[in-house]
A and B are shown apart, each in its own frame.
Chain A
Amino acid sequence: MGKRSKVIERDAVVIRFSGDSGDGMQLTGTLFSNTSALFGHDISTFPDYPAEIRAPQGTVGGVSGFQVHIGHKLINTPGDFTDVLVAMNPAAVKANAMWLKAGSTIIYDSDNFTEKQIQRAGYKADPFTEDKLDSMNLIGAPITSMVKEALKDMEIDPKTVLRTKNMFALGMVYWLFDSKLKYTEDFIGEKFGKKPLVAEANSKVLRAGYYYAETIEALTPSYHISPAPIVKGTYRNINGNQATAWGFLAAAEKADLKLFIGSYPITPATGILEELALRKDLGVRSLQAEDEIAGICTAIGASFTGRLAVTSTSGPGLALKSEALNLAVMTELPLVVVDVQRGGPSTGLPTKTEQSDLWQALYGRNGESPVPVIAAGTPSDCFTYAFQAAKIAVEYMTPVILLTDSYLANGSEPWKIPSMKDMPAIKVPYAVKTDKEYQAYERDPEKLARSWAIPGTPGLEHRIGGLEKTIKGSVSYTPENHEYMVRMRDEKVERIVNEVPDLEVTGNKKGDMLVIGWGSTYGHIYTAVTELREEGYKISAAHFNYIRPLPKNTAKVFSGFGKLVVCELNTGQFANYLRMKHQRFTYHQYNRLQGLPFTVGEIKDYCKKLLEGK
């Protein structure tokens, strides 16, 4: 292929594909990410799309974006600001103007920059002038007309022709990044296997875009990014929902239990149910329930019979499930509830990310209701924490809440594939028939877990339910018994601390400031703190995945620092939780509520100001 006049070697680049929600930007972004990952780049992705399946065309509200950060060094966030923007229409420019780095490249479909489209996007005149983007590297390509031209000899309908526009843009970006087309061509062949004409059209347009970019060379300088220094092994790309689903499968296999999922579709959690519904080959029983409540209640029923039971949902669904979750607390049955958080309250921001269900997870139920709460930090470690949540649920006979969020669920990253033989064992506390009568609430002295008597086993017939019980399993309203049982349930959850690894510190164990986070903010906080350390600040980071119970060494870690800053995407729910659990410290807060992940820059700015006493 053509010689390049100027190639820039870069450590990392952020690319954002942006267009109408029907323009295929999510697919385009995914294909680009996968190609980059196969080449050996480290990547992090962030899909950002509207709640409406087809919002009004050409409006800012209807813009669907997919951001990918690729790098030669290790990448922990999808990037704050964009180096390359692909804008299929003026609305895409409008929606992304504030997220562009100085000197960015904007590739846009000039055919779509008509007066009508410009007005629909909310511009009065030329978008680039109006948003002061003149100094950017602007590459207007008549994508729509080029696509029509490329496919004019093929007998396919005009709608299908226009649907290939994303492939043209992708082809151009591949040239810009000196990437190979093979992965995408293979994908096209697979996806449209039954429609060879459509497959051919897409491949043709992909190449047309690539050659167009080569021909005009207006795109130069182009980028070259060497492979990242990644640990040896076999890798794949994985998003948070898939990793969560697979973590449950891994736990079921390790525990030698069959998996059951009862769930109701809800954005952004549905991918977990979809993934597990596929896995009948691994014996998963999945049910799309009639509502959220039935989702958890079927899971509780399945758990009673001796299956590893899970239910997936998002904030509004967790609210609906709370009564049944307490039934699992009372019956002390293993169950994992995944809350893929989104912006709330109420329907809120269904497709946007937020960490605002923490209190709901900890406290959103009637009565004294102790439930362990675990949060995953990156898309791929949803696998680890789904596994851990299931392990704790089974070994301690308790429901567990696993918190992820929209950012983790849809974001993806390369993942070194683990081997099942390296995963920890899971020991199931089965009840066995002895000479003594089975007592439903007799506890293991160490973990305080009751034993699991599986229906169908002769001699272990018993009745449990939502009413308070004695150790024997009889209904009891006796004052002393209730207090005893409340305290036992609480103590059992507290003892899970023995499973919780110590809190780790990124950086020195002593310093001026510790930046504290939990869940999905890991990458942004880690990057911000690492950069600040490189700039000479005495700053460290500590990230929580176990929220209840907190790691044993929490206070010890905190005491090594002058200032504690809790960064989270809510008004301070974790900060206040820490204020209650570890009262002797003063906590500063940095909070955002925009339905978006943090930017590395804003965390750095806040920390610097606080350190410098401004």
Chain B
Amino acid sequence: MAETNNNHYVAKDFKSDQEVRWCPGCGDHGILASLQKTLAELDIPKEKYVFVSGIGCSSRLPYYMNTYGFHGIHGRAAAIATGIKIANPDLLVWEMTGDGDALAIGGNHFIHAIRRNIDIKIILFNNEIYGLTKGQYSPTSKKGLVTKTSPYGTIEEAFKIGELTIGAHGRFFARTVDYNLQLSNEVYKEAARFHGTAVVEVLQNCVIFNDGAFDAFTNKETRDDNTIVLHHGQPMIFGKNRDKGIILVNLKLKVVRLGEGGITEKDLLVHDAHEPNPGIHYRLAGMTYPEYPVALGVIRAISDQTYDAAMLEQHTKVQGKSKIKSVDDLLMSGSTWKVK
């Protein structure tokens, strides 16, 4: 991907003339700002981008980006994005979606886009609630959550987006937090540079219907103890005092304290985002608070052939061999006969 086209973009260049209509304080504002900053820094001509979405609060984002944009229907953003990318692989396709849009009504398209490794970037705003319909539980709502449609608490198990992604043969999975602009910027850039389906889960606070769902990971007092930011090649250390780490015991991840029981930094797992075997990535993506810190950053990024590249390769091959170069050739191919 060409990084410098000398467009000298600033974030404002990616703002459309539409008034942003999310609730004040909504995490979506943070996501929009980080994306606009990221795109400005990537400095790729803005007409190359297509922002695609489904339905929900997240899915209004394309209207606010001064790029090509397509606001689809509920759940179908991944399918629309797939069509756009296959039709014109030169376009840079970003899908904006939410936990209801991508994992409930659109679950099928989500897993199949990932399986095919279409080169699209899926930014999944996870607020663990349905916001636009005013507060019903979603496929990522924690079990027991009381909402308007689960007045006695949900009795459903929640999806973990990372596990689902990796289970669908995902090659790229990252997690960030809505208002952590620095981490988000870093993660979105990694996703942009990655060739293939990149899923980024953004923990996004819904101030109205599920406020504080991620407080433990965003609050300055607790966030460093409750999250771990993974960096490829770095040991897995976290905590306000950088005194905690993660090791592997009996095929399970375990949180340890440095210095306790003779544990040193050398005993900790070193993050290898490029390891094709999904075992550790799956476990890292599945870590939940309070037993574990929640993993942030790029958890998995393995290179593989993309669908679009394989498709172009196949086209070139077939076109090289085939005698049919036009519709006239096709119509006259095979058995024909003349009537005189």
A305 contacts B73, C-beta separation under 8 Å: no
Which of A235, A260, A462 has a CB less than 8 Å from the CB of B336?
Answer: A235
Interface residue ranges of B43-98 to A (CB < 8 Å): 45-48, 50-53, 55, 62-63, 65-73, 76, 79-88, 90-91
CB-CB under 8 A from B319, the residues of chain A are: 280-281, 283
Partner of A282, one of B66, B76, B327: B327
List residues of chain B with CB within 8 A of the CB of A285: 86-87, 311
The residue among A283, A287, A303 with the most chain B CB atoms within 10 A of its own CB is A287
Q: Which of B48, B108, B327, B335 is within 8 Å of A38, CB to CB? A: B335
Is the C-beta of A418 less than 8 angstroms from some C-beta in chain B? Answer: yes
B88 touches A417 (CB 8 A): no
Q: B328 — which chain A residues lie within 8 A by C-beta? A: 419-420
B contact residues around A304 at 8 Å (CB): 50, 70, 80, 83-84
Partner of B331, one of A417, A460, A465: A417
Are A457 and B86 neighbours in the complex by a CB distance under 8 Å? Answer: no
B220 on the A face (CB < 8 A): no
On chain B, the residues within 8 Å of A232 by CB distance are 339-340
Is residue B263 contacting chain A, with contact meaning CB distance below 8 A? no
A466 touches B68 (CB 8 A): no
Q: Would you give the 0/1 interface string for B298-340, flagging 1 where the beta carbon is closer than 8 Å to chain A?
A: 0000000000000100110011011011111011101111111
- Residues from chain A with Cβ under 8 Å of B80 in the complex: 297-298, 300-301, 304
Q: A246-B327, A285-B311 are in contact. Are A465 and B72 (CB under 8 A)?
A: yes
The answer to the question of A306 belonging to the interface, with a C-beta cut-off of 8 Å to chain B, is: yes
A467 in the interface, Cβ–Cβ < 8 Å? yes
Point out the residues of chain A lying under 8 angstroms from B52, CB to CB.
301
A327 proximity list for chain B (CB < 8 A): 72-73
Q: Given A249-B330, A290-B112, A297-B79, are A456 and B48 also a contact pair (CB < 8 Å)?
A: yes
Could you tell me the dominant secondary structure of chain B's interface residues? mixed
- In angstroms, how far is the closest chain B Cβ from the Cβ of A78? 20
Closest to A252 in B: B327
Name A463's contact: one of B63, B315, B318, B334 (CB within 8 Å): B63
Q: Contact at B339–A300, with CB atoms within 8 Å?
A: no
Shortest Cβ distance from residue A252 to the other chain B in the assembled complex, whole angstroms? 8
Q: Which of B84, B337, B338 contacts A305 (CB 8 A)?
A: B84
Q: Which of B80-124 contact A (CB under 8 A)?
A: 80-88, 90-91, 108-109, 112
Measured in the bound complex, the distance between the Cα atoms of B18 and A420 in whole Å is 46
On whether the beta carbons of B63 and A298 are closer than 8 Å, the reply is no
Which parts of A225-269 form the interface with B (CB within 8 Å)?
230-237, 246, 249-250, 253, 258, 260, 262
- Does B219 interact with chain A (Cβ within 8 Å)? no
A459's partner among B47, B55, B91, B335 (CB-CB below 8 A) is: B47
B88 contacts across to A, CB distance below 8 A: 305-307, 455-456
Closest to B53 in A: A465
A515 beta carbon closer than 8 Å to chain B: no
Neighbouring A residues of B339 by C-beta, 8 Å: 40, 230-235
In the bound complex, do residue B324 and residue A456 qualify as a contact, i.e. CB atoms below 8 Å apart? no
Query: Pick the contact of B332 from A280, A299, A417 — CB < 8 Å?
Result: A417
Q: How far is the CA of A456 from the CA of B16 in the complex (A)?
A: 17
A559 to B183, CA, bound (A): 75
Within the assembled complex, what's the spacing in Å between the Cα atoms of A475 and B61?
13
Question: Most A CB atoms within 10 A — which of B16, B80, B82, B108?
Answer: B80
Are B335 and A294 interface neighbours, CB within 8 A? no
CA distance A93 to B73 in the complex (A): 52
Q: Tell yes or no: A118 within 8 A of B by CB.
A: no
Pick from A233, A294, A305: contact of B76, CB under 8 Å:
A294
Judging by beta carbons under 8 Å apart, are B67 and A461 in contact?
A: yes
CB of B47 within 8 A of CB of A289, answer no
Compute how far the CA of A419 lies from the CA of B318 in the bound complex, rounded to whole angstroms.
Answer: 24
Query: Across the two chains, which residue of chain A brings its CB closest to B82?
Result: A298
Known: A253-B326, A455-B50, A466-B71. A297 touches B87 (CB 8 A): no
B68–A38 touching, CB < 8 Å:
no
CA distance A505 to B124 in the complex (A): 59
A282 close to B338 (CB less than 8 A): no
A283: chain B residues at CB < 8 Å are 315, 319
Identify 14 new A-B residue pairs, CB closer than 8 A, beyond the known A298-B86, A463-B71: A234-B338, A246-B331, A249-B327, A260-B87, A282-B327, A290-B79, A294-B112, A305-B84, A323-B73, A417-B336, A456-B90, A461-B69, A465-B70, A474-B18
Residues of A within 8 A of B (CB): 34, 37-38, 40, 183, 230-237, 246, 249-250, 253, 258, 260, 262, 279-283, 285, 287, 289-291, 293-294, 297-307, 309, 323-324, 327, 331, 417-420, 455-467, 474-475
CB pairs A–B below 8 angstroms (11 shown): A235-B337, A298-B86, A301-B80, A304-B84, A306-B87, A417-B336, A420-B326, A463-B18, A463-B68, A464-B69, A465-B71
In the A-B complex, list the 10 residue pairs whose CB atoms are closest, starting with the nearest: A465-B71, A301-B83, A298-B83, A281-B322, A463-B69, A297-B79, A302-B87, A294-B79, A290-B112, A455-B68
